[in-house]
Structure 1
Amino acid sequence: MTQTKIQENNRIQDVYIMGGLRTPIGVIGGQYKSVQPELLGAKVLDALLDTYELEYVDSVFCGNAVGTGGNIARLMTLSSNLPISVPAVTVDMQCASGAMTIEMAYAHIRSGLMNTVIAGGIESSSLQPTRTYAEGDARTGEYLVAQFSPNENDPLAMLRGAERTIDKYGVSQDTLNKHVLRSHALAVQAMTNPHLKEKILPLRFDDIDCTDESIRPRMSEKLLHRMKPLLGPGTVTTAGNACLTHDGAAFVVVSSKPSACKIIGSTAWAGEPQYSPEGAWQSTEALLSKYNLTMDDIDVVEWNEAFAVIDVLFERAYPEALDRYNRLGGALAYGHPYGCSGAMLVLHAMAALGTVQGRYAICAIAGAGGTGTALLLEYNHEYHR
């Protein structure tokens, strides 16, 4: 019998983030209202190829939640300057999609299957298609929002989940508003932060320079109190303490090649879908336990604050660490383009680590259906390319 010549690669490799870029984030119907998400993402891919002089990419992992379906990641790479031979995979974990692509890249490189992966996500709420259930399906009609739980098929499921969580933890509107104001104020301050600016790709459409459209320098308590509850009288979730819908793209280059930012590990979590905002907190708790750390060890925490109640969960769980939380502002200010928000968190964490010369960062995000995922990063400020 002929002896096989197949050699398995059993290397365990360290995994790094060479760097990354995101677009300015547009609000629905705003600066990217007619820009297909795959074309927006292709601009980021091309910039990464040039910035990091990438000679070879094993694959592209792209998160997307409300696109046109199919393998939009492949459509994006074919619209970019990447070789036609580079595979691409689309990941849908809803809000956690972008973070999961980075976890997947970490696993593929850690195991030795790959060496360089571009991971992140794209989203266009402006061009989100309306879908229709097939004839014969017990569910009927058109829909924009997918079903996240067997017990609930409601276009307002995420808002209701936030409201349930607010009720569960007894959170007042004033408490929510405090965190909204904090997020916008920190985002305004961060507009001139050089560490963040270098991670935002300058773009221009229709002779207009693109910006993070949702940041409100004049956000005030008075304005927040004027906003009507989205779920009717007796509720407190408003357009101020919940994210709007957005367009954007964000990607990082994950590699076995040593660089300043190292991925230590990750963890995913799943729980009660009726209280989906808990996902960032619970996945963070799982990550800290997995690596035998406490919040005292962490210099930067980035949670995707799709709802202000997520900020409240952080403050109640780790009151001593609020100054380390979303240091540059969060999604309530920047926006939440679902599929790419996880990659945005990583980019903002890297910028914050650079700002404060910190070592460890946690990036965590909750997903629809009661999921969550968290990443642990370590930054070496003495590393030189």
Structure 2
Amino acid sequence: MEKVYLIGGLRSHIGLTGGLFKTVPAEELAAAVLQKIMAKYPFVLQADGLLCGNAVGTGGNITRLAALKAGLPATIPALTIDMQCASAAASIELAMTKIGSGMADILIAGGFESTSMQPVRVYAKADARYREEGFTVAQFSPDTTSAKAMLEGAERTCQKHGFTREELDAFAVRSHRLAKKAREENRLNEIVVSVFGSEGDEGIRDRMSPKLAARMPKLFTEEEVKELLAGDSASLPIKESVDKQNVLQEQKIAVMPLLTAANACLMNDGAAFVVLASRQAVEQYGLRPEAELLAGFEWGVDPRYSPEGAIETGAHLLQRCDLQPQQIDVFEYNEAFAVISALFARKYPKLTARYCPWGGALAYGHPYGASGAILLLHLWQELKQTEGKLGLLSIAGAGGLGTALLVKKC
């Protein structure tokens, strides 16, 4: 394959649902950041395409709409990719593949999301899933139509691996502390732009502490957790010899709900894009590469435990590249839930200082379709401002999926 270079990129501030960008449609938010991209990297007017993730938008090829609103030349094609939370990372991986195979020289990739302006959809009346009130969350797995499928998967994963509330909350506190420090030290100034009057990432809680985390509300009741775990032997904290189904039904054991408003990320709005180029484009336009994208990988896991996708996909990419974990200087895994952080710490206990060193999605937020690009932008800056050389990002997606990318600083 041809070499694929990261030239740069930008992201918006990240807002909470109903917050900074509460009246801004997703395509308008994307267009505003794309205009900043065009101003900073004018050669993108010669781009071969725009590839973007979007998970909960209005549908159609919303990336094309954003491109036209931004004023990109109409001759530049656009493609929307929906891999839910992994959409932007999948878009970047596809862009890397197109450039690496010689099909393109300059591509803009990333994603955008507005949960504030998320539409309500309605199944056809002939569909057994039809409800007059409609739905906002798509079906990700054949065994459930629950609107809380991702939260339920995170709770199951917490129970399966035997984590405690305190253990999970500690990662949430860590994330906010590190994000606050990065903000105070202006670590992200090069990649973050203000749009629609935004002044900062809205989700970082300066006062987050173990005491505050402990007071945050649980997202499930004990009975709801029991129902989730019923018949799911891998998740139950009792001996294999016991009839788990009956024990749960008879309520002979206590099940502590673990997911809370502190250790699960909130809903967010945001947009993020990176600019990728071939060696030919670098030479033609006199560009300065910031990093090289070495490899990408996608993997699937049991959708009932979708957070495991981030860990498993990252591990498989390392294996395919014949790398040991200790060779990676920075790991940017999407902290949609603290259980992902806890799984990383359990798998790589000696490498936790390299994990999301400036905080993760538990603090900044997780605008689904944009998060993979946000991870790459943060990873680039972390490698650039430290002595790091290799970085790995990985993100889980609804339905039990994951996308990972391996990056080398130039």
Map Cα deviations across residues 209-239 of structure 1 (whole Å, 9 max, x no partner). Answer: 4310000010111111112211113311111
Q: Hey, what's the Cα distance between the residues in 2 that align with 1:192 and 1:251?
A: 24
Q: Deviations over 1:28-83 (max 9, x none)?
A: 00010001111111121111112122140100001000001111000000101210
Among 152, 172, 175, which residue is 1:160 paired with?
Answer: 152
Letter in 1 for 2:94: M
Percent identity, aligned pairs only, is: 48
Match of 1:66 in 2: 56
More displaced stretch, 86-95 vs 209-218: 209-218
Q: Which amino acid aligns with 2:278?
A: S
Equivalent residue for 1:242? 264
**2:379 is equivalent to residue 357 of structure 1:** no
Opposite residue 10 of structure 2, the aligned amino acid is L
Q: How many residues align?
A: 366
**DSSP 3-state at the match of 1:79:** helix
The match for 2:104 among 96, 114, 125 is: 114
Find the aligned partners of 1:247 and 1:195 in 2 and give their Cα distance.
21
1:307-346 aligned at under 5 Å gives the runs: 307-346=337-376
Tell me if the contact between 2:33 and 2:195 (Cα under 8 Å) persists in the aligned partners. Answer: no
User: Given that residues 204 and 210 in structure 1 are in contact (C-alpha distance below 8 angstroms), is that contact kept between their aligned partners in structure 2?
Assistant: no
Gaps of 5+ in 2: 223-255, 283-288
State the Cα distance separating 1:193 from its structure 2 match: 3.8
Paired with 2:42 and 2:387, the residues of 1 have a C-alpha distance of 26
Report the equivalent of 1:128. 118
Amino acid at match of 1:79: K
- Match of 2:7, SS? strand
Deviation at 1:149, TM superposition (A): 0.3
Equivalent residue in structure 1 for 2:20, among 18, 27, 31: 31
RMSD (Å), alpha carbons: 1.0
Matched residue, 1:254: 276
Q: 1:186 aligned to 169, 178, 181, which one?
A: 178
| Shift, 1:203, TM fit | 2.5
1:78 corresponds to which letter in structure 2?
A: L
Native 8 Å contact 1:195 1:354 kept in 2: no
Structure 1 residue 16: Cα displacement: 0.6
Question: Is 2:98 the partner of 1:98?
Answer: no
Aligned 8 A contact 2:55 2:368 in 1? yes
**How far did 1:194 drift?**
4.3
User: Which is richer in helix?
Assistant: 2
SS in 2 for 1:85: coil
Of 192, 195, 206, which residue of structure 2 is paired with 1:203? 195
Residue 311 (structure 2) aligns with: 281
| Unmatched segments (≥5 aa) in structure 1 | 1-11, 381-385
CA distance in 1, matches of 2:186, 2:22: 28
Verify: 1:175 aligned to 2:164, yes or no: no
- Cα deviation, 1:333-370, whole Å, max 9, x if unaligned, reads 00000000000000000111012121000010000000
CA distance in 2, matches of 1:89, 1:51: 22
What is the TM-score with the length of structure 2 in the denominator? 0.88
Question: Partner letter of residue 306 of structure 2?
Answer: S
- TM-score norm. by structure 1 comes to 0.93
The answer on whether the counterparts of 2:21 and 2:196 sit within 8 Å (CA) in structure 1 is no
Query: What secondary structure is seen at the aligned counterpart in 2 of 1:131?
Result: coil
- Pick which of 136-145 and 89-98 moved more: 136-145
**1:143 maps to what in 2?**
135
Q: Which residue of 2 aligns with 1:89?
A: 79
